[in-house]
Amino acid sequence: MNNESTCSARHINHVCIAVLNIEETLEFYENLFGVTKSGEIETIEDQGVKAALVRVGASQLEFIQPIDNENGVAKFIDRRGEGVHHICFEVDNLESKLNELDLAGVQLIDKEPRDGLSGTIGFIHPKSTRGVLIELVDQKTARR
């Protein structure tokens, strides 16, 4: 493991896919890939989405469906259609990682950790990561 990197990623916790109908999508993925959701569909009010995690071997998929037409996920689907929305790395000490990234000039969406579906999380802006929205989850809180 490289201890000198700014934000060592331990593991891909999940890949997230933005969809228009989460119930239909879960059923489709279940039938096609034999995967099942690991909890119930939850409403995350502050992100304006319905969301569910699906176990796939040692990793997970996350599905999100916007619940209003104005939020970032709705706009993402408007612009680009349904598809991969972000990937999520597990890290140690999320709070200090966000501080170090900020000091290193990496553009953050969250400078402070907050609660998300998969644990205590923070997002890095895609402008700083070659076009991919990256979520970090504190490994101590991570749902797996």
What is the binding site for Zn ion (CB under 5 A)? 16, 62, 88, 135
CB of 56 to Zn ion, least distance (A): 14
Kindly tell me the burial class for residue 91, based on how many C-beta atoms sit within 10 Å of its own C-beta (0-12, 13-18, 19 or more).
buried
**Where do the DSSP E strands lie in 19-131?**
42-44, 49-56, 59-66, 83-91, 114-116, 119-124
Pick between residue 15 and residue 103 the one whose CB is nearest to Zn ion: 15
Pick between residue 16 and residue 52 the one whose CB is nearest to Zn ion: 16
CA separation for the pair 46, 51 (Å, rounded): 12
CB of 3 to Zn ion, least distance (A): 26
C-alpha 122, offset from chain centre = 9
Q: Which residue is nearest to Zn ion (CB)?
A: 16
Pick between residue 62 and residue 101 the one whose CB is nearest to Zn ion: 62
CB of 119 to Zn ion, least distance (A): 10
